[in-house]
């Protein structure tokens, strides 16, 4: 054992300071672990590598869940947001979600400041190159500067840095992000310790000098007049707000793209890995939807001063001169100066079927993975995994049960379960349709779903807890009043439950309700509870079959090859995935209901034998 | 839940000939055959037929035909052995005892088919079709079952399922991608499509309702005064000695039921105790009650009188006790009346009862063919189907009905602007329809289905 100084010895090391790493480091340190965040540069902590926005459909729910658990994302968004919009206003509240453009420079500074103020957290500027294990147990992290940091737990959040390869036209070069180096050694190290790696692709559009854009030629997309905050801790958004702008591509642009496909890495075979279907490059959109006359492009400010503009909808890896020609033809950007060109990036990820439900690798004890390294995309998805990985790394140290969120508890739970059981074909993004319990996984109740849990693991501050308790009490009082008071023989609560209830619109006109002086989110939450009350039973029934399977654990030492009736393919898949429950097994692709029945039979037989043995032993 | 690792056996229901088929399947099938045939058995190709001596006890040895199907090329996907022997029940019992001694157990109802399903040899819909073939009791049922087996039901539900999937995914897209400048489907358009799907399902349901009515066998009853010759007639119709016949009145005390095979239909034949105008004691009364109950449930009743006795006052009273719509009046024992007297007697009967009697004789066989045809034709009238309906089992029917109600909910919720709730109901509908095939995880449902199967194929 080398002589280890306190400065190089930690309970938990987080590698990478992106949205997953920041939440992981904050959570681990908050809970009380002596934590170290290793990042290439302090200045790129929580950098928004792509879209300068947080939230959106399903993602907004995750952001709220991270907040409810005691994370950073919601607070940072509320502090630095420059345009807030509640999406899906015309649809039901369960599928409504907040989205905010943020001042991306202020956002990262905000998170960095939060981390710097977090007790127990040391930030080290360096590049991790090796994860050192002993007998498949995490032992230390070695950095490029030669320093070795010792730790029993590592949370790895490498984003797009592992063997990152960037593409602009036919030009390809190593890099983890714009002007940042790729991590090739760390990728090799992961392979060496026995992890299997795959490859994915993503891309980003050009950034423009905001002062050179002609906004008069675009449509204005204003934010909400009354911004809805992300964090349950925020009462009101007070900073000034600015709009986004919408412009459209045209046939001339489409022609240029078609004429230059021979220089498009996505179509020349230069890029081999799969990108996200839900976030196609402009060249893909034009090829796949050839009959569409125009595509919508959002010009999104990256800061309140409009120093730089993000061209949402025109992600591309076409050569620089083609990007210039496209922008010259796009209304509003004809004379714009390009600050950064769009690019595509291929990177290593670790197929997440190698994870356990606590985010730890099955192979290496103490190694937790979160964010894009697990094949996901999106800041919110990363943050959701990061906070869980940080919590569970510490819980492992504390010999406590891991925090695993069920599919009925959180989108974060849905996501992690999907990652573990479904495998990845493209960068994974959350959609509300992935959630069987969509009607109960809402933004308004994320605190009621998760804050208690956040407190029990030690992540929720006393302020947040008091605020939460207060809200619960206010909600209970309001609900009681509504249930006990009637008009024309029908309780106010039942009136509220009706479709398109008038009362929901006019709650604040009720004298008694006025007297209660309730904050808006309390009113809103009670109204939504009433609206969905009648549907939750049906939702529960629909998912009931799932739950019985969910509760049946599969012994971790089960040898699928001994189950004689199991198909060969099923044996192989199950041996690779090692599902923890029958529920997980049933969601593994390629596993049929018949396979599940066979395993059920096997487990029952096994149980039967054990019971017989026990009786004999008695 | 069955243990799929056991080696099991079942005797398939003997057919009209005296052949008995014993089916064996499971991991110990080869071993069982070796022991049963004193090591004469050697494993051959995929399918083999061989002849073996099977020793029952020291004095009895039989020749058995062994059909062997090796895994996975068998009905269940495991090794399957079929032992065919011509023998009587007591010898069959002896062989079954032997199998039990070898550590095999008897198959649960439907277990062979259950294994075929578990081993991926057939999907759930096919497995159920096999069940229907096993229990199908007339040609009509058989063709419906065959249609299902050939995947016609699966095809229809697949169409409906993909329509639901299409509509559902558009609504879902509207929820998850509302930021795009695309309208995936308008609420009106979605509601229209769903109404179409609903109609399709309702048609499917209509078919299944007609079908369900024939799953239960139609029945025919034989009624008449005591000693009118009902049991003799019944035995003649069945071609067996089913009813005990004697010249004593009231020989048949209970309602005797048998299967009657007709040209188009099978039916259950009730031979009832003789009806009497004035029951003399409690025993008579009980016999009378059960007879009348059986006749009430019959689709057609053969009203039988003894033409040779010339006094039909009692029969006239008895006729009033029969309330069935379809009655075939039959003049039994017409051989005793003599050929010359018959037309006059039949006229007389016509005058008394207001109906034409069919002269029959169990002894000479006169009128028997006509009687069978008449019974068959009444069953045919009751079951005239223009086309073969699709849905078969009540579980399918329930799934389709639940899907209809879920689609109704979905349309309603769409109309009140609750797309997310509508989507939930569509998921439920999709799930219901999917259950018609094999996408079903609930082992309770599985047990339910498989417990309905006859033993063996």
Q: SS3 letters for chain B?
A: CCCCCCCEEEEECCCCCCEEEEEEECCCHHHHHHHHCCCCCCCCCCEEEEEEEEECCCCCEEEEEEEEECCCCCCCCCCEEEEEEECCHHHHHHHHHHHHHCCCEECCCCHHHHHHHHCCCCCHHHHHHHHHHHHCCCHHHHHHHHHHHCCHHHHHHHHHHHHHHHHHHHHHHHHHCCCCCCCCCCHHHHHHHHHHHHHHHHHHHHHHHHHHHHHCCCEEEEEECCCCCHHHHHHHHHCCCCCCCCCCCCCCCCCEEEEEECCCCEEEEEECCCCCCCCCCHHHHHHHHHHHHHHHCCCEEEEEEECCCCCCHHHHHHHCCCCCCCEEEEEECHHHHCCCCHHHHHHHHHHHHCCCCEECCCCCCCCHHHHHHHHHHHHHHHCCCCCCCCCCCHHHHHHHHHHHHHHHHHHHHHHCCCHHHHHHHHHHHHHHHHCCCCCCCCHHHHHHHHCCCCCCC
Q: What residues in A contact B119, CB-CB < 8 Å?
A: 565, 594
Question: Which residue did the predictor score with more confidence, A42 or B366?
Answer: A42
CB-CB neighbours of A8 under 10 Å: 18
Name the least confident of A24-33, A133-142, B378-387.
B378-387
Same domain for A560 and A536? no
* Same domain (yes/no): A531, A581: no
CA nearest A591 in B: which residue?
Answer: B439
What SS3 state is found at A205? coil
Q: Reply yes or no on whether the pLDDT at A604 is more than 70.
A: no
* Among the ranges given (A319-323, A506-510, A542-546), the one the predictor scored with the smallest mean pLDDT: A542-546
Out of B4, B177, B441, the one facing A601 most closely (by C-beta) is: B4
Residues A597, B446: C-beta atoms closer than 8 Å:
yes
Coil, helix or strand at residue A246: strand
**More confident of the two residues B148 and A72:** A72
Contact with chain B for residue A597, Cβ under 8 A: yes
Q: What is the pLDDT of residue B136?
A: 46
Is residue A572 located within the same domain as residue A595?
yes
Chain B residue nearest residue A248, CA to CA? B181
What is the pairing mode between strands B266-271 and A53-55? unpaired
With an 8 Å Cβ cutoff, is B280 touching chain A?
Answer: no
Say whether A549 and B2 touch across the interface (CB within 8 A): no
Where does the pLDDT of residue B16 fall: very low under 50, low under 70, confident under 90, or very high at 90 and above? very low
The pLDDT of residue A426 is 85
DSSP A327-358: HHHSTT-TTPPEEE--EEEEEEE--GGGB-TT
Query: Which range in A508-517, B160-169, B385-394 is most confidently predicted, on average pLDDT?
Result: A508-517
H or E element in which residue A600 lies = helix A593-617
* DSSP-H helix ranges across A206-250: none
Query: Which of chain A's residues have a Cβ under 8 Å away from the Cβ of B120?
Result: 567, 592, 594
- Give the helix/strand (H/E) hosting A122: strand A121-125
Answer yes or no: is A519 within a domain.
yes
What's the pLDDT at B61?
Answer: 79
Reported as type and span, the H/E element at residue A454 is helix A446-457
Nearest chain A residue to B123 by CA distance is A594
CB A373 within 8 A of CB A159: yes
Q: Cβ–Cβ of A598/B446 closer than 8 Å?
A: no
Interchain CB distance below 8 Å, B181 and A545: no
By Cβ distance, the residue of B172, B178, B181 closest to A433 is B172
Coil, helix or strand at residue A137: strand
- Tell me what the mean pLDDT of segment A31-56 comes to: 97
**Residue B389's pLDDT is what?**
45
- Kindly indicate the confidence band of residue A76, based on its pLDDT and cuts at 50, 70 and 90: very high
CA–CA separation, B257 and B220 (whole Å): 10
Q: Please indicate, yes or no, if residue A514 is contained in any of the structural domains.
A: yes
Q: Is residue A534 part of a domain?
A: yes
Residue B453 has a pLDDT of 30
Average pLDDT over residues A208-232: 96
Asked if A601 and B431 come within 8 Å (Cβ–Cβ), the reply is no
Residues of chain B with Cβ-Cβ distance to A607 below 8 Å are: none
Per DSSP, helices labelled H in A485-567 are 492-497, 502-505, 511-516, 520-550
Domain count for chain A: 2
Chain B residues with CB under 8 Å of A601 CB are 1-4, 118
Position A591 confidence tier, pLDDT thresholds 50, 70, 90 = confident
Cα nearest neighbour of B434 on chain A: A593
Answer whether B327's CB lies under 8 Å from B300's CB: yes
pLDDT single digits (tens) A238-271 = 999 999 999 999 999 999 999 999 999 999 999 9
Nearest to B416 among A296, A500, A600 (CB): A500
**Residue B177 contacts A, CB cutoff 8 Å:** yes
Q: Does A562 contact B at CB distance below 8 Å?
A: no
Interface of B with A in 65-84 (CB under 8 A): none
Taking the C-alpha atoms of residue A428 and residue A276, their distance in angstroms, rounded to an integer, is: 8
Task: Say if CB A340 and CB A309 are below 8 A apart.
Answer: no
Q: Touching check for A452 and chain B: CB below 8 Å?
A: no
CB atoms near residue A10 (< 10 Å): 28
Which residues are bridge partners to A247 per DSSP?
Answer: A297
- Average pLDDT over every residue of B45-74: 81
Closest to A48 in 3D by CA, of A112, A104, A110: A104
CA B69, CA A366: separation in Å to the nearest integer?
Answer: 52
Give the CATH number for residue A583.
1.10.150.570
Identify whether A42 is part of a domain: no
Residues in CB range of A260: below 8 A, 6 or more apart? A318, A319, A322
CB nearest to A601's CB, from B1, B117, B181:
B1
- Does residue B120 sit at the A interface (CB-CB below 8 Å)? yes
Q: Which residues in chain B touch residue A285, judged by CB atoms under 8 angstroms apart?
A: none
Q: What is the mean pLDDT of chain B?
A: 74
Average pLDDT (B184-194) is 91
DSSP 3-state of A387: helix
What is the dihedral angle through the alpha carbons of B24, B28, B31, B33, rounded to the nearest 10 degrees?
A: 0
Instruction: Tell me, rounded to whole angstroms, the distance of Cα A117 from its chain centroid.
Output: 24
**Nearest residue of chain A to residue B420 (CA atoms):** A92
Among A480, A507, A541, the domain boundary falls at A541
* Cβ-contact B57, B73 below 8 angstroms: no
CB A442, CB A528: distance < 8 Å: yes
Interface subset of A 466-525, CB within 8 angstroms of B: 499-500
Q: Is the pLDDT of residue B71 over 50?
A: yes
User: Do both A469 and A537 map to the same domain?
Assistant: yes
Q: Is A367 contained in some domain?
A: no
Distance from CA of B262 to the nearest CA of A (A): 41
For residue A364, the 8-state DSSP code is S
Q: Is A9 among the domain residues? A: no
Average pLDDT over residues A291-309: 93
* Full residue range of the structural domain in which residue A525 is found: 462-541
Interchain proximity A92–B420, CB inside 8 Å: yes
**Residue A117, domain member (yes or no):** no
CB contacts of A499 in chain B (<8 Å) are 416-418
Nearest CA in chain B to A246: B181
Answer whether residue B267 shows pLDDT above 90.
Answer: no
Contact A416, A579 (CB under 8 A): no
Torsion of CA A345, A350, A351, A355, to 10 degrees: -150
**How many whole angstroms separate alpha carbon A582 and alpha carbon A596?**
7
Of the two residues A502 and A207, the one the predictor is more confident about is A207
Task: Please give the Cα distance from A608 to B2 (Å, whole number).
Answer: 12
Smallest Cβ–Cβ distance between A594 and the set B180, B421, B438 belongs to B438
Q: Does B2 touch chain A (CB under 8 A)?
A: yes
Task: Measure the CA dihedral B270/B276/B278/B281, to 10°.
Answer: -70
For residue A101, tell me if it sits in a domain: no
DSSP string, A526-540: HHHHHHHHHHHHHHH
A542 touches chain B (CB under 8 A): yes
Put simply, whether A606 touches B (Cβ < 8 Å) is: no
Cis preceding-peptide flag for B258 (omega within 30 of 0): no
| H/E element, A384 | helix A379-397
Q: Tell me the mean pLDDT in the region A219-232.
A: 96
A537 and A557 inside one domain: no
Q: Is pLDDT at A567 greater than 90 in this prediction?
A: no
CA distance A279 to chain B (A): 11
Nearest-CA distance from A328 to chain B in Å? 23
pLDDT tens per residue, range B329-346: 999 888 888 888 888 888
Consecutive H or E run containing A67 = helix A59-69
B419 and A56: CB-CB below 8 Å?
no
- Identify from A92, A288, A501, A530 which residue to disrupt to test chain B contact, counting B C-beta atoms within 10 A and taking the largest count: A92
Q: With an 8 Å Cβ cutoff, is B425 touching chain A? A: yes
> Is B441 close to A596, i.e. CB distance below 8 A?
yes
H or E segment at A39? strand A35-39
What are the C-alpha distances in Å from A609 to residues A49, A54, A548, A549?
A: 56, 54, 22, 21
Per-residue b/e over B337-371, b at no fewer than 16 CB within 10 Å?
beeeebeebbeebeeebeeebbbbbbeeebbbeeb
Distance from CA of A316 to the nearest CA of B (A): 18
Q: Least CB-CB distance to B424: which of A500, A535, A586?
A: A535
| Sequence-distant (≥ 6) Cβ neighbours of residue A115 within 8 angstroms | A17, A22, A25, A26, A37, A45, A121, A123
pLDDT of the residue at A143 = 97
**A365 band by pLDDT with thresholds 50, 70 and 90:** very high
Of A541, A574, A603, the residue that ends a domain is: A541
**Which of A56, A95, A500 is the closest to B175 by Cβ?**
A95
Task: Please state, in angstroms and as integers, the Cα–Cα distance from residue A359 to each residue in A12, A94, A149, A150, A367, following that order.
Answer: 14, 27, 22, 20, 8
Instruction: Quickly count: other Cβ atoms within 10 Å of residue A447's Cβ.
Output: 26
pLDDT tens for each residue of A412-456: 999 999 899 877 878 998 988 888 899 999 999 999 999 999 999
* Chain A residues with beta carbon closer than 8 angstroms to that of B167: none
Angle CA B330–B333–B334, to nearest 5: 80
The answer to whether the CB of A83 falls within 8 A of the CB of A99 is no
Which region among A190-199, B50-59, B205-214, B283-292 has the lowest average model confidence (pLDDT)? B205-214
**Using the beta-carbon criterion (under 8 Å), do B179 and A57 form an inter-chain contact?**
yes
Chain B CB within 8 Å of residue A593 CB: yes
Residue A43 in contact with residue A113, Cβ under 8 Å?
A: no
pLDDT at A565: 67
Domains of chain B in sequence order: 8-123 (3.30.1360.120), 134-214+390-437 (1.20.120.430), 219-382 (3.40.50.300)
Tell me, yes or no, whether A508 and A558 share the same domain: no
Q: Are A12 and A153 in contact (CB under 8 A)?
A: yes
Q: How many CB atoms lie within 10 A of CB B242?
A: 17
Fill in the DSSP letter of residue A229. P
Q: Indicate whether this complex's ipTM tops 0.90.
A: no
Cα A68 from Cα B256, distance rounded (Å): 74
Residue B384 is predicted with a pLDDT of 40
pLDDT at residue B18 greater than cutoff 70: no
Q: For position B108, what pLDDT does the model report?
A: 67
Of A27-36, A163-172, A532-541, A544-553, the poorest mean pLDDT is in A544-553
Q: Are strands B105-106 and B8-12 parallel, antiparallel or unpaired?
A: parallel
Nearest CA in chain A to B445: A545
pLDDT(A1) > 90: no
* CB < 8 Å to A567, chain B: 120
Give B279's pLDDT tier (boundaries 50, 70, 90). Answer: confident
Same-domain status, A612 and A563:
yes
Chain A residue with minimal CA distance to B76?
A: A565
Q: Is the pLDDT assigned to residue A618 strictly greater than 50?
A: no
Q: Is A536 on the interface with B (CB under 8 A)?
A: no
Is the CB of A256 inside 8 Å of chain B's CB atoms?
A: no
CA distance A102 to A51: 9
How far is the C-alpha of A502 from the C-alpha of B48, rounded, in Å? 77
d(CA A102, CA A303): 7
Q: How confident is the model at residue B386 (pLDDT cuts 50, 70, 90)?
A: very low
What CATH number has the domain bearing residue A521? 1.10.10
């Amino acid at each position: 054992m080398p002589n280890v100084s306190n400065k190089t010895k930690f309970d938990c090391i987080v590698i990478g300071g992106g949205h997953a790493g920041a939440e992981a480091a904050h959570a681990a340190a908050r809970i009380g672990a002596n934590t170290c965040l290793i990042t290439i540069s302090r200045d790129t902590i929580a950098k928004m590598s792509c879209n300068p926005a947080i939230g959106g459909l399903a993602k907004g729910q995750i952001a709220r869940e991270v907040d409810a658990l005691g994370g950073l994302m919601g607070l940072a968004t509320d502090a630095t947001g420059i345009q807030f919009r509640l999406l899906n206003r015309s649809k039901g509240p369960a599928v409504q979600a907040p989205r905010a453009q943020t001042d991306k420079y202020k956002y990262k500074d905000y998170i960095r400041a939060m981390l710097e103020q977090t007790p127990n957290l040391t930030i080290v500027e360096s590049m991790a190159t090796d994860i050192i294990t002993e007998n498949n147990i995490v032992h230390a992290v070695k950095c490029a500067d030669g320093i070795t940091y010792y730790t029993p737990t590592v949370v790895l959040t490498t984003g797009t840095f592992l063997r990152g390869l960037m593409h602009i036209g036919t030009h390809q070069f190593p890099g983890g992000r714009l002007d940042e180096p790729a991590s090739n050694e760390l990728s090799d190290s992961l392979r060496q310790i026995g992890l299997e790696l795959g490859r994915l692709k993503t891309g980003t559009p050009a950034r423009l000098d905001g002062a050179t854009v002609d906004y008069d030629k675009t449509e204005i997309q204003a934010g909400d007049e009354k911004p809805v905050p992300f964090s349950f801790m925020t009462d009101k958004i007070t900073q000034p707000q600015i709009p986004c702008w919408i412009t459209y591509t045209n046939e001339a642009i489409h022609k240029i793209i078609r004429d230059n496909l021979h220089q498009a890495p996505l179509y020349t075979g230069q890029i081999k890995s799969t990108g996200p279907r839900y976030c196609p490059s402009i060249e893909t959109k034009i090829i796949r939807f050839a009959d569409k006359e125009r595509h919508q492009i959002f010009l999104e400010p990256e800061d309140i001063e409009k120093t730089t503009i993000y061209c949402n909808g025109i992600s591309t890896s076409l050569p620089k001169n083609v990007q210039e020609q496209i922008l010259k033809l796009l209304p509003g950007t004809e004379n714009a100066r390009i600050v950064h060109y769009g690019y595509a990036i291929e990177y290593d990820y670790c197929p997440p079927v190698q994870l356990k439900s606590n985010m730890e690798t099955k192979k290496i004890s103490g190694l937790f993975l979160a964010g894009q390294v697990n094949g996901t995309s999106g800041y919110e998805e990363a943050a959701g995994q990061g906070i869980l990985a940080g919590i569970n790394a510490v819980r492992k140290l504390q010999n406590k049960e891991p925090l695993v969120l069920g599919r009925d508890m959180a989108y974060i739970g849905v996501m992690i379960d999907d990652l573990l059981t479904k495998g990845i074909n493209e960068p994974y993004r959350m959609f509300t349709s992935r959630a069987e319990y969509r009607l109960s996984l809402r933004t308004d109740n994320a605190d009621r779903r998760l804050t208690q849990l956040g407190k029990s693991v030690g992540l929720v501050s006393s302020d947040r807890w008091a605020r939460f308790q207060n809200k619960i009490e206010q909600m209970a009082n309001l609900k009681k009043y509504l249930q006990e008071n009637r008009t024309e023989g029908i309780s106010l609560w039942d009136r509220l439950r009706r479709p398109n209830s008038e009362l929901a619109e006019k709650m604040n006109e009720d004298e008694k309700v006025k007297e209660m002086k309730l904050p808006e989110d309390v009113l809103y939450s009670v109204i939504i509870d009433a609206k969905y009350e009648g549907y939750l039973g049906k939702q529960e029934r629909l998912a009931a079959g799932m739950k019985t399977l969910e509760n049946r654990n599969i012994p971790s030492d089960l040898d699928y090859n001994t189950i004689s009736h199991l198909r060969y393919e099923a044996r192989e898949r199950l041996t690779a995935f090692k599902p923890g429950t029958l529920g997980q097994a049933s969601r593994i692709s390629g596993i049929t209901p018949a396979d599940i029945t066979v395993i059920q039979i096997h487990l029952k037989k096994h149980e039967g034998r054990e019971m017989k043995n026990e009786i004999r032993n008695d | 839940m069955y243990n799929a690792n056991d080696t099991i056996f079942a005797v398939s229901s003997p057919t009209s000939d005296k052949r008995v088929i014993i089916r064996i399947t499971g991991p110990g099938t080869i071993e069982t055959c070796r022991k049963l045939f004193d090591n004469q058995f050697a494993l051959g190709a995929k399918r083999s037929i061989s002849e073996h001596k099977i020793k029952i006890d020291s004095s009895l040895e039989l020749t058995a035909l062994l059909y062997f199907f090796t895994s996975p090329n068998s009905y269940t996907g495991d090794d399957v052995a079929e032992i065919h022997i011509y023998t009587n029940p007591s010898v069959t019992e002896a062989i079954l005892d032997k199998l039990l001694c070898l550590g095999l157990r008897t198959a649960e109802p439907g277990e062979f088919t259950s294994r075929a399903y578990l081993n991926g040899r057939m999907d759930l819909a096919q497995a159920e079709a096999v069940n229907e073939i096993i229990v199908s009791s007339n040609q009509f049922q058989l063709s419906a079952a065959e249609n299902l087996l050939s995947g016609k039901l699966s095809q229809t539900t697949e169409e409906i399922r993909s329509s639901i999937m299409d509509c559902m995914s558009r609504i879902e897209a509207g929820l998850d991608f509302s930021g795009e400048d695309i309208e995936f489907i308008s609420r009106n358009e979605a509601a229209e499509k769903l109404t179409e799907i609903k109609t399709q399902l309702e048609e499917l349901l209509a078919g299944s309702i007609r079908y369900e009515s024939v799953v239960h066998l139609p029945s025919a009853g034989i009624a008449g005064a005591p000693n009118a010759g009902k049991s003799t007639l019944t035995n003649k119709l069945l071609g067996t000695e089913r009813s005990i016949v004697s010249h004593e009145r009231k020989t048949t005390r209970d309602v005797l039921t048998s299967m009657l095979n007709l040209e188009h239909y099978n039916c259950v034949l009730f031979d009832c105790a003789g009806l009497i105008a004035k029951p003399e004691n409690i025993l008579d009364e009980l016999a009378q009650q059960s007879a009348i109950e059986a006749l009430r449930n019959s689709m057609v009743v053969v009203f039988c009188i003894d033409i040779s006795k010339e006094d039909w006052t009692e029969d006239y009273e008895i006729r009033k006790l029969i309330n069935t719509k379809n009655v075939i009046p039959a003049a039994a024992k017409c051989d005793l009346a003599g050929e010359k007297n018959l037309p006059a007697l039949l006229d007389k009967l016509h005058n008394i009862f207001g109906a034409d009697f069919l002269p029959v004789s169990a002894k000479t066989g006169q009128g028997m063919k006509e009687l069978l045809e008449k019974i068959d034709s009444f069953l045919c009238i009751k079951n005239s189907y223009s086309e073969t309906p699709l849905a078969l089992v009540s579980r399918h029917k329930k799934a389709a009905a639940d899907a209809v109600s879920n689609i109704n909910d979905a349309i309603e919720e769409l109309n009140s602007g609750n797309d997310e709730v509508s989507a939930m109901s569509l998921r439920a509908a999709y799930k219901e329809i999917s259950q018609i095939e094999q996408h079903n995880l609930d082992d309770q449902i599985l047990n339910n289905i498989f417990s309905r199967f006859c033993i063996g194929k």
